[in-house]
Structure 1
C-alpha cells in the first residue's frame, strides 16, 4: 500500500474549511503559509499561525492541519499534532469548526495507522464519522471529508467500491469549490483504483492530471509522489525517466516523503574529483 496523496487540506477562501494555505488569495499570511507548506516547511508555516492559533479557531484548525500533514510526510511529529488538535477542538465554537477538527483528528489517526506508528484505525473511523454528523452536506469541508473517508475505505477496509464512490463525491465537490489541490488528490486515487483494475488509459489520464495540477500550483512536496505514480501507468522508457525525476526531487526535498524512498532509484554515484 502506498501512502502518497493522502494528506490534502483545502486552500483558505471565504466559507472554505480551515486549511494550511493555498496559492490563491491576496492575504500575505496565506501566501507565506502556502510557500512554506508547499516546500515541506510545515513547522515554519505553523509558526506563522501560532500568534493567532491560541485564540482563534480558524487559525488553530489551519495550524493543526499543517502539523497533521507533516506527520503523513515524515512519520514523525505526532505529539505536536495532537497538542495542536486539542487546542483547535477547545476553541471550536460551532458544528462546522467541530466537524473540521474531527476530520483532522481522523486523518491523524489514519496516518498513525497506515505508517505503522500505532494502530488507531477505530479512532480514525470514529472521528470521521463524527465529522460527517457535524458537517452539513453543503459545508465547504465536506469534499475533504469525503476524500478521507475514501482513504479509510480503500486502505483500512479494503473496499475499493466504497472508496471509489467517496473519491467521486470528493472530486465533484472539489470541482464545484474550485479546490485544485484537492482535485489533484482525488485524480490520483481514482487513477490508482483504475490501475488496480487494469484500466491503464483511465489510470494514465488521472495520474497525468494530478501531476499537472501540482506542477501548476507549485506544490513541490507532492510532485515526486505524483511522478512516481504516473510511472506505474506508462511504458518502461517513460517510466524510467519519471522515476529518475522523482528521485531527483525526493533528494532535493531532503528525503521527503519518507515512505517514497523504497520506490525510487538510488542516487547516481558522485563524479570523481578531477584534481585527485
Structure 2
C-alpha cells in the first residue's frame, strides 16, 4: 500500500482522491445505489493482500448491514480478514473503528447484544489513530451514535457529533457532513428547536442530492418531513416512499416506517435517525 493510500479515509466515497482510481469510483457508484455485494466483489481481489482494500470492503459490507439489517456474517468475515492484514496503527485504528460500528449496528438491530464490544473497539480505535488521521472524524461520529442510541447520553452524543462535524468540514468530507448535519438536527429536534432541526435536515438532504448518494436521500427526505408543515411534509414522505420502492425496500427500517403493512420487520427497532 502506498503512503497516499494510507492517508485516505477507509470507506470509498466521493472526493478528489477518487478521480484517478477507477475501482474506487466504481465502488462509490455501486454503494451509493445500494449495490453493496457488487461493490464488495470489485474490491475482493485486492482485499486478499492489500489492507486498504480489505478495510474498504469491510466498510462496504458493514454499511449494507446498517441499511438492510442483513449480511452480518459476510461483514464479520470481511472484518476478520482485514484485521489479519493490517500492519500499522492507522490501519489497526480503522479496523477497530469498523469493528465498533458493526457491533453497534448488531446491538441496535437486536441481532446480538455487543454494546461492550462496540465501546471497547471504538476506544481502541481512538488510542490507535494518530493525530490528524482522516478517519478520526468518522470515529467521532460513530462514538456519537453509541452515546446517542446505546448509552442514551445526549450530552456525550452532542459533543461527539460536533467534533465529527468540525473534522468532516476540515477534511472536505461532504458525505460525512451529510450525516453529522442529520444527527445534529435530530438532537435539535429533540431539544425543541425546530428551526435549527429544519436547517440541519435540509443541509443533509442537499449534500446527499449533490453527491448522488441515492440510498441516503429517502431517509433525509423523511427526516425533513418530520419538521415541515403540511402539505410539504406529505410531499416529502411520498417522495421518500417512492425512492424506497425504487431501491427495493432499502433502507429496510424506513420501508417499515413508510409502509408498515407491506414491510413488517418485528426484529428491527423503531425507525430512528440511523443513516
- Output the CA distance in 2 between the equivalents of 1:212 and 1:49: 29
Instruction: State the secondary structure of the residue aligned to 2:231.
Output: helix
The answer as to 2:64 corresponding to 1:66 is: no
Question: What is the TM-score of this pair, normalised by structure 2?
Answer: 0.90
Where does residue 170 of structure 2 map in the other structure? 176
Where does residue 129 of structure 2 map in the other structure? 135
> When the two structures are aligned, how many residues end up with a matched partner?
257
Over residues 156-182 of structure 1, what are the superposed CA-to-partner deviations in whole Å (9 max), with x where a residue is unaligned? 111111101000100000000000000
Instruction: State the secondary structure of the residue aligned to 1:66.
Output: helix
Where does residue 9 of structure 2 map in the other structure? 17
Check whether the contact 2:222–2:240 (CA below 8 A) recurs between aligned residues.
yes
From 65, 89, 93, the equivalent of 1:95 is 89
Where does residue 205 of structure 1 map in the other structure? 199
The answer as to 2:42 corresponding to 1:85 is: no
Question: What is the TM-score of this pair, normalised by structure 1?
Answer: 0.90
Where does residue 272 of structure 2 map in the other structure? none
- Output the CA distance in 2 between the equivalents of 1:143 and 1:266: 35
* Correspondences of 1:206-245 after superposition (within 5 Å): 206-245=200-239
Where does residue 266 of structure 2 map in the other structure? none
Over residues 139-169 of structure 1, what are the superposed CA-to-partner deviations in whole Å (9 max), with x where a residue is unaligned? 1110000000000000011111110100010
Over residues 54-80 of structure 1, what are the superposed CA-to-partner deviations in whole Å (9 max), with x where a residue is unaligned? 000000000000000001111111111
The CA deviation at 1:184 is 0.1
- Output the CA distance in 1 between the equivalents of 2:110 and 2:5: 34
Where does residue 44 of structure 1 map in the other structure? 38
- Output the CA distance in 1 between the equivalents of 2:259 and 2:134: 40
- Deviation above 6 Å: which 4+ runs of structure 1? none
Check whether the contact 2:6–2:90 (CA below 8 A) recurs between aligned residues.
no
Give unmatched runs, 5+ long, in structure 2: 262-275
Check whether the contact 1:247–1:266 (CA below 8 A) recurs between aligned residues.
no
* Correspondences of 1:148-187 after superposition (within 5 Å): 148-187=142-181
The CA deviation at 1:117 is 1.0
CA RMSD of aligned residues (A): 1.6
